Structure 1
Amino acid sequence: MKLEREDFDLTCIEMAKFLLGKFLVRKLEDGTILKGKIVETESYLGRLDKASHSYGGRKTPRNEPMYMSVGTAYVYMTYGIYHCFNISSKEPGAAVLIRAVEPTEGLNHMHKLRLKAMKSRNLSKIFKDSELCNGPSKLCMSLNIHKEICNKLNLLDNDILWLENPSENLDFDIVPAKRIGIDSAGEEWAMKPLRFYIFGNTFVSKRDLEAEKSIKLPK
């Protein structure tokens, strides 16, 4: 079942946690369905967050989706090469970065898309399934999520990219950890526990062993 508008009426941190365990679905032009479970997210809080594209209330053509209605896709390019996929939350300028996905459907197509997107064009490269979507740019390559097609899409009313609830309730622990690759934002914001991932999942981009100590394991 697709997520509905009321499901997205959440703050950025609430949404980052809520999205874990939900399914990201991408429908290609030929009707092929690519699907995976979201296992890792990061919150970017907007005006006060020095790591956010909208820090200080900054508004540009690039970050416009961060100010659009809740559930809008914000797809941008990093290093002028790779894409990253975010979802706007209810606070203006705040969005959740989807960092890692556990592929569940269309894996053969994901492998082909990932190889096609590689700049080295090393067609002999073989990826493990766990390597397909264990990073924000990797999942965009494997799911064919890019700015030209997916940016500014409302995830609630299109047939290209959307989110679904799992068919059954999932029980898992969430690890709150520091975000990755934002040291330039300063120690305060680099150390804030604004990254969230499913404890024990092997498809996350990077574990934080220190943060995992906060998870209470059953005796």
Structure 2
Amino acid sequence: MKSPRRLSKADLNLPCKEMAIFLLGKLLVRKLESGSVLKGRIVETESYLGGEDKASNTYNGRQTAANEPLYLPAGTAFVYMTYGMYFCFNISSTEPGAGVLLRALEPLQGVELMKKFRTKKNKGSLKDTDLCNGPSKLCMAMNISKDKCNKLDITESESLWLEDDGEAVEKPQIVSSSRIGINSSAGEWAKTPLRFYVVSSPHVSKRDKKAEDALTT
């Protein structure tokens, strides 16, 4: 395995769906104020296309102070709160209003510290496979919050960035499925296959057996 290379603006200058697939296998790195480094491999993503995508925060060109990062250059962090208490982390892509949600990581470095961050709200021990297997779990484990990380340019930030260590995810390993938790009011967008995950990973948040079976047929 080669030495990790930090991803640049050129690497992330991608359309949303293409970026969601490209990010699989890449490393998310978080450097804390203490100097501790947390690292995990991205194994699940979702793309939100903006525009006509009714499941997007920016559907029909909606622009607010809250979703502003999705209109900033590709590689901008968009962190928002859900259910009034949890955070989700997205990365803007080239299309105005579009971004990729990171749904799950394989923890690689700083695992014990990640567990401490998670168990602040969850009593008891956690398996590694349960540590970052969901967008809000990922944010808790990596200490990603709106006040610390929103609007960061992750190609230049010294506290949050992406790396490539050469571990490629090939097309036959990638499952395409519908996104999680999309309201039926989104119509056809609730079923559009815009979620992507590594079929062999035990760290994925939710599996789609039908879509997995389609990989082998």
TM-score by length of 2: 0.94
What's the secondary structure of 2:30's corresponding residue? Answer: strand
SS for the counterpart of 2:215 is coil
Q: Tell me, yes or no, if structure 1 residue 127 matches structure 2 residue 126.
A: yes
CA deviations over 1:94-139 (Å, ceiling 9, x no partner): 00000000000000000001112x1xx63xx111010010000000
| Aligned residue number for residue 114 of structure 2 | 110
- Which whole-Å CA distance do the structure 1 matches of 2:173 and 2:28 have between them? 20
5+ residue gaps, structure 2, are: none
Code of the residue aligned with 1:145 in structure 2: it is I
Q: 2:64 aligns with which of 54, 60, 63?
A: 60
Once residues 211 and 187 of structure 1 are traced to their aligned partners in structure 2, the CA distance between those partners, rounded to angstroms, is: 20
Secondary structure in 1 matching 2:88:
strand
- DSSP-derived class of the 1:103 partner: strand
Instruction: Tell me the equivalent position of 1:165.
Output: 164
Q: Which residue of 2 aligns with 1:151?
A: 150
Cα separation, 2, equivalents of 1:59 and 1:109:
36
After superposition, the Cα gap between the structure-2 partners of 1:183 and 1:168, relative to the gap in structure 1 and judged at 3 Å, is closer
- Aligned residue in 2 for 1:216: 216
Instruction: Flag the 1:168–1:56 CA change in 2: closer, same or farther, 3 A.
Output: closer
Q: Report the secondary structure of 1:49's partner residue.
A: coil
Q: Secondary structure at the match of 1:156?
A: coil
- Identify if the C-alpha distance between structure 1 residues 168 and 57 changes in structure 2 by more than 3 Å, giving closer, same or farther: closer
Paired residue type of 1:7: D
Amino acid of the structure 2 residue aligned with 1:67: Y
- How much has 1:179 moved relative to structure 2? 0.3
Matches of 1:131 and 1:46 in 2, distance apart? 30
From 30, 36, 40, the counterpart of 1:36: 40
User: For 1:129 and 1:54, how far apart are their aligned partners in 2?
Assistant: 34
SS at match of 1:34: strand
Residue identity matched to 1:29: E
1:170 positional shift: 4.7
Contact 2:28 2:41 in 1 (8 A): yes
Distance 1:83 1:203 in 2: 19
The percentage of aligned residue pairs carrying the same residue is 57
Question: Residue by residue, what CA displacement relative to the aligned partner does 1:112-171 show, whole Å, maximum 9, x if unpaired?
Answer: 01112x1xx63xx11101001000000000000000010000001111000000244454
Aligned-residue RMSD, C-alpha: 1.2
Structure 2: distance between partners of 1:165 and 1:63: 28
Quick one: distance in 1 between partners of 2:14 and 2:169? Answer: 20
Q: How far does residue 173 in structure 1 lie from its aligned partner after superposition?
A: 1.1
Segments of structure 1 that go 5 or more residues without pairing to the other structure are none
Q: Look up the match of 1:11.
A: 15
Distance in 2, matches of 1:68 and 1:91, equals: 10
Aligned length: 212
